[in-house]
Amino acid sequence: MKTPPPPEPPPPRHIAVIMDGNGRWARRRGLPRLEGHRVGSERVRTITTACSELGVSYLTLYAFSAENWKRPRAEVSGLMRYLRHYLKQELPTMLENDIRFRTIGDVDSLSPAVRRSLEKTSAATADASGLTLVLALNYGGRQEILEAVRRLARSAAEGAVKPEDISLEDVERHLYTAGIPDPDLVIRTSGEMRLSNFLLWQSSYAELVVTPVLWPDFGRRELEDAIREFWTRRRRFGGLDRSGDGKDAQA
């Protein structure tokens, strides 16, 4: 009688992805950059569905950074058009798979049409209890921290809190991600070795996996490869293994 294989560890609770490489994917095929973004938007469905099926609780996708406004106007307009199309097209899938949708970032600076689409999707999925899909839109990690500091400074100036009493938890409550656990795993596609101003505070102890695969080619197999890589990591969070064997401990 064969011994059954040991069960696999649970997936990371929160996976964050820097979706990079749409433009290069298109350029290598002689296509317009917007075609890369279009195909990349279709990958969002693939990865969201896979995370839902694998039991991931939170998936945060870096969809549009605060720096992306520097791109040509036609490209930015195309990205916003694909965003609205994605939200409309994928709402039934979110509802069917019990996926809750929310955003982080300065969404108030987006166009009224985009904001309406975001609000409609968030409201329609508010009662979902499965995967939470978080889109980072007009998001910048430094700006997020700066805004949190400003709000805390105003509270201190008003006498609501003493500066010396401000805690890490106080800062976290003023971040865009308040109520969302820090990511366990941050994946970056396209091989670039940087965070690009993404979740700077929250990624302090995240495991980083960088893949050369461009985002439009990143599928379920690549996602599962990244999760398997995560399982090989030993997470100490600054501490030491208590087993006494000198090895790092998976936390």
User: Which residue in the block uniquely carries the two structure tokens 């941050």?
Assistant: 186
Closest CA to 124 of 105, 150, 154, 98: 98
The string of pLDDT tens digits covering residues 2-20 is 666 666 789 999 999 999 9
Give the domain 14-140+182-229 fold.
Undecaprenyl pyrophosphate synthetase (3.40.1180)
pLDDT of residue 251: 47
The Cα–Cα gap between 117 and 101 comes to 12
pLDDT of residue 237: 62
Task: List, in sequence order, every residue forming a beta bridge with 242; answer none if it has no partner.
Answer: none
Q: Which residues of the chain have pLDDT under 50?
A: 243-251
Helix (H) or strand (E) run with residue 60 in it: strand 58-65
Q: Quick check: 103 and 178 in contact, CB under 8 A?
A: no
The string of pLDDT tens digits covering residues 64-116 is 999 999 999 999 999 999 999 999 999 999 999 999 999 999 999 999 999 99
pLDDT of residue 235: 74
pLDDT, averaged across the chain: 93
Does this model's pTM top 0.75? yes
| Catalytic residue ranges | 20, 68
CB atoms within 10 A of CB 221: 10
Helix (H) or strand (E) run with residue 173 in it: helix 168-173
Closest CA to 55 of 11, 21, 2: 11
Percent of the chain with pLDDT over 70: 91
Q: What are 132's two structure tokens?
A: 């939470």
